[in-house]
Amino acid sequence: MIQIYDRQRKEIYTEEEYGKGALQFLYHTVRGRILLKLFIARPEFSRKRAAYYRSSKSVRDIEPFIKKYHVDMTGYRMGNFRSFNDFFTRKRKVTDSSKTGELVAPADSKLAVYEITDELKLKIKNSVYSVEDILQDKILAEKYQGGMCLVFRLSVDDYHRFHFIDDGRIRRYYKIPGVLHTVRSISERYHVFSANAREVTVMDTAHFGEVTEVDVGALLVGKIHNRKTVSFHKLMEKGYFEYGGSTVVLLMENGVKIDSDICEMSRRGIECKVRIGERIGGN
């Protein structure tokens, strides 16, 4: 169970990790690791699952999913969805009511913050990364030493579109493909390592200097869709995740101040529930 602090209600609740049983089987048992390597990790498996979620047949999965995970469907009509993926990537209007210089949440999500040090290790979607690992760029990673790392985890009940945190321009954009391989031979202790697909956007922002965003997809199914743009404004939609993708990481230079309740909860190992456009810090 994961502990979450709801900032609006000022209370802590627990969330059961989605697919925890399946993940435990696949990554922490001999049989699961064999299946992962020999069958599930094959491209055909991902293509078939993705095709199903885009098909009209998958509409039947929507209502049970909503009921099981208590998804807020206020403002949506069930008859408008042509597939499960259509439901999962549903769009809503987002308005900006923040003040100039406020740092806002880019997504409905569960947020944890960390100071960036050489020792920092981030557990994201069943993989563990250093900042250099997640960026695959040592020089870029060094720029953020002493700064802050913000990890926004989108769970299945969240809205799966994400937005820009400020006005600015994109300086650089690149993709890192997901991989799965054994650290040792599959016949030797069955060690399996996974690295999720990532899309990295380096941005110059009006109020927070250089910010790098890493959008993290799932290893096997989730797909990331980033909007093609050069300039952007605060809370303009940046992109969305298809089913399976679910984490946004922001790397920010030294000087940004995160709100004290978020920092305190993160120190205690508790994520904070945040909504798109909600204040989470400032200069």
Question: Do the domain assignments include residue 43?
Answer: no
Q: Quote the pLDDT of residue 106.
A: 98
Q: Does 70 map to a domain?
A: no
Would you say residue 28 lies in a domain? no
For residues 149 and 61, give the distance between their C-alpha atoms in angstroms, rounded to a whole number: 35
| Count of domains observed in the chain | 1
**Is 89 domain-assigned?**
no
- Of the residues 108, 158, 215, 259, only one is catalytic, namely 108
- The answer to whether residue 38 sits within a structural domain is no
Whether residue 20 is contained in a domain is answered as no
Going from the C-alpha of 195 to that of each of 104, 125, 140, 212, the distances in angstroms are 28, 9, 19, 19
Q: What is the pLDDT of residue 193?
A: 53
Residue among 98, 127, 155, 246 flagged as catalytic? 246
The answer to the question of residue 216 being in a domain is yes
CB-based burial label for 59 (10 Å; 0-12, 13-18, 19+): middle
Prediction pTM value: 0.87
Q: Is 133 an annotated catalytic residue?
A: no
Confidence (pLDDT) at 110: 96
Confidence (pLDDT) at 74: 85
31: in domain? no
pLDDT tens, residue order, the chain (283 aa): 789 999 999 999 988 666 566 666 666 676 776 666 655 555 566 677 778 889 999 999 999 999 988 898 987 887 889 999 999 999 998 999 999 999 999 999 999 999 999 999 998 876 788 999 999 999 999 999 999 999 999 988 899 999 999 999 999 999 998 765 444 443 344 444 567 888 999 999 999 999 999 999 865 556 899 999 999 999 999 999 988 668 999 999 998 999 999 999 999 999 999 999 999 999 7
Which residues contact residue 14 at a Cβ distance below 8 angstroms, ignoring those fewer than 6 apart? Answer: 1, 2, 3, 4
CATH number for the domain including 240?
2.70.70
Instruction: Examine the residue annotation and report whether 158 is marked as an active-site residue of this protein.
Output: no
| b/e per residue 207-246 (b: at least 16 CB within 10 A) | bbbbbbbbbbbbbbbbbbebeeeeebebbebbbbbbbbbb
Domain extent for 216: 94-282
